[in-house]
Each structure stands twice: as structure tokens, then as C-alpha cells.
Amino acid sequence: MIFHEIPQRGNGIREYVEKVRWIVDAVIKDGDRALLGLTERLDGVKLDRVAASEREIEDAVAKVPRDLAESIDLIYQHLYDYHVQTKPPSQGISGLNVSVDLIWEPIGRIGIYVPKGRNSYPSTLLMTGIPALVAGVEELYVASAPSQAGLDPLVAYISKKIGVKSIYRIGGPQAIAAMAYGTETVRRVDKIVGPGGLYVQAAKLLISDVVGIDGIEGPTELVVLADDSANWIHVAQDLAAQAEHGPSSVLVLLSTSNTLLSKVEEWLKSNVSPENTYHLVKVKNVEEAIELANSIAPEHLSLHLKDAEVLYSKVRNAGVITLGNTPPALVDYCAGPSHVLPTSGWARFRGGLSIYDFMKLRPAVKATGIDRELWNAAMKLADYEGFVWHGRSIGARYV
């Protein structure tokens, strides 16, 4: 279905929270028993245990064809090298009679959710596990919905490559709840990362008071800005590519060219599934297109524009920007930045998953001398706020 207007955004994830609350409560109450029952009921797979055995993992790894393993190894090394270059250094700051050591510490225990919709998505494990590994996270745990065919071979292969402690054969809101609260088998983690559908994201929002989350990532969003310099078939193919994530994907084309819009519309009607919805919108100029894109704050923003390398600086809200004829799908697999990106408007206030999501800043402060003017200012502010002993504890050091 094709509309010629900007998509309306409703409550998004919030309206799904109550739909998953009973699942989260069941896991909190009954642990592994709830996980096994929910997996059979919701996923149609009967399990005798939650975690994959070492034998299952080894058998799955053995099924990976050599050429596919070599492709994974190549992507792995490229992504690893990229994230190494983004790792922040610990450093010292001095001056004004105060020294501060800024220490970047890795988070201790991370739970990675690998979505499994129509297919398994082992690429998500690369996009989350590698920056966690580079950050220095010591314990990684993976949860992914099971199938009758058994453990996904690439999930097993990548898990071994990055040193995952356990692979949990569970998906959906129940997997999120299990990693947040812990069960007899599932280790409670400090933070949960990974994309997923509306129910998974709602569960992440629901449990975010007890465990860290990376944000809301799903369903997929792509906004394309195109002028008459764009290759219309590439624009159409980029939209079709993101539509593969499912009918909930938000797919928008903003263009100054009626000709391009018509060609893309005709191609989409002839070449893609009718279950997806596309919004093809005519704009007066590129400035209007950028303004609309900023208001949508999409996960993916693709600039098929003549002056893309200049105009992208005007974009304020987007998870990731691809320029010119660069396919957004390249980000999904191997460009460098993680494909775990903010959706539902979260790009207004956060970026995509990065090494910073797996680290925390720990300042260590030492007063190396007495700055009477500065310390007196602090005492006056403490007094204004009614915190008498705050001020006195400062003043006692030099009065």
C-alpha cells in the first residue's frame, strides 16, 4: 500500500507495555518453568531446558559452511578494528586545585537479545557483541527464540568467537524478563541490548527500572531524501530492502522530483509484497525534506541528494545517515557503526549503539589545594539549598 502523506506516529511502544506485563510477571514468579511454558505456548517449540548445551553449540557450529565462516571472520575483523578506534581513553584532568581521573570501566554483565522473526539475525550478534568485547565486558549472554531446526549455526559460531558464556533458547518478552530478573538458569545481567519487535521493545521499557537498556530499537524505519540527481532504482531497492524486516517497518520517501516518485511507486507496486506500507511524499525543496526528516527522527536516513556531503550537517535527528549512493543495508552488515539504532523518535536524544553503551565513566576526584573563592561559592550554593552540613563539611577543610 502506498500513501502520499507523512506517516502518523501514535503512542508507539507505550501501548504495548500492558500487553507484555503478564509475561514479565510470570517469569518473575515461576522462573524457568514459566520460560519453558511460554516458549511452547508462544513459539510452538517444546524445550526440556533453557540453555543450549555445549554439544548443541558444537553441532551447530559444525554446520556452518566454510565460505560463510570466512565471510563472518572478515566482517568481524572489520567491525572489531572500527570499534577499537572509537574506544575512549582514560585520562587525567588537573587545574584549579582539583585533579580528576576519568576512568572508563566496562559494564560487568551484558545480555544480548538476537531477534528471530521470519529468519534468524546473527548479524545482530556481531553488531552488539563486538563493541562489548572491545569495551572489555567480561560476561556476555545471548538470548534468541528457538526453532524446530535447533540452534542457529551462525549464532553458535559468532557466540563462540566472541566468548559468550551461555546461549539461552528463549525469545520475546520472556527472554527480556529472564535476563532482567534472572531465573534458575538465566543469569541476571546489568544491561540488555538488542533490537526486536514491538513486544520485545515494550518489555525492555517495562523492565528498565531494574536493568539498563540500550534504548528502543524496532520496528525498522527508513526515510529517504531524494532529488532529481538520484538513481531511482537504487532508491526503490533501498526501500524494498528495509521492508524485508516486516510489515511494521516505517518506509518514507521525500522527494523534490515527481518523475522519481512516479518511477519508484510503479516499481514498488510491481516488485514487492503488498503487506508493507510506503509513504511517497512530494516536497517543495530539500530544506523542507530535511525539516520533515528531523521531525520524524528515523532510525535510518538516506540522502540521495546531489549535495549530500554538505547537507547532512543540517540533519539533527537520525540514528544513522547514509550519503549519496551508499546503501543503508551496508550499515546493517558491515559498514562499521552498529545496526542497533534508535526508533520511535528516540533519535531525538540518543544515537546508535556504540562502545559507550558497554562502558561507564568513573571520575576519581582529589582536592590538591584550597581554592577559597571556588569553595566559598560552593558553600553559598549549599546554604541556599538548605544543605547546611554540605557547606560545613567543605568549610571545615580550610577554616
- Residue 8 scores a pLDDT above 80: no
- Residue 132 scores a pLDDT above 90: yes
CA distances from 281 to 93, 226, 278 (A): 51, 11, 10
**Catalytic, out of 83, 217, 299, 304:** 299
The partner residues of 100 in beta bridges, in order of sequence, read 93, 365
Beta strand 98-106 with 91-95 is: antiparallel
By mean pLDDT, which of 51-60, 212-221, 312-321, 378-387 is the weakest? 212-221
- Predicted pLDDT of residue 13: 81
Q: For the chain, what is the largest distance between any 2 Cα atoms, rounded to a whole number of angstroms? A: 82
Q: What is the mean pLDDT of residues 297-326?
A: 95
**Full-model pTM:** 0.92
What value does the mean pLDDT of the chain take? 94
**Catalytic, out of 83, 245, 279, 300:** 300
- Predicted pLDDT of residue 9: 66
Alpha-carbon dihedral sign for residues 148, 204, 246, 239: negative
pLDDT band, residue 3 (cuts 50/70/90): confident
Q: What is the mean pLDDT of residues 230-255?
A: 95
C-alpha torsion angle, residues 379, 385, 389, 395 (rounded to 10): 0
- Residue 340 scores a pLDDT above 90: yes
- Predicted pLDDT of residue 149: 84
**Residue 234 among the catalytic residues:** no
- Predicted pLDDT of residue 322: 97
Alpha-carbon dihedral sign for residues 86, 99, 388, 378: negative
Q: What is the mean pLDDT of residues 314-342?
A: 96
pLDDT band, residue 399 (cuts 50/70/90): low
What amino acid occupies position 228?
D
Q: How far apart are CA 348 and CA 342, in angstroms?
A: 9
Query: Which grid coordinates belong to 292?
Result: 520533515
**Residue 288 among the catalytic residues:** no
Q: What is the mean pLDDT of residues 203-209?
A: 96
Q: How far apart are CA 216 and CA 145, in angstroms?
A: 19
Q: What is the mean pLDDT of residues 270-282?
A: 92
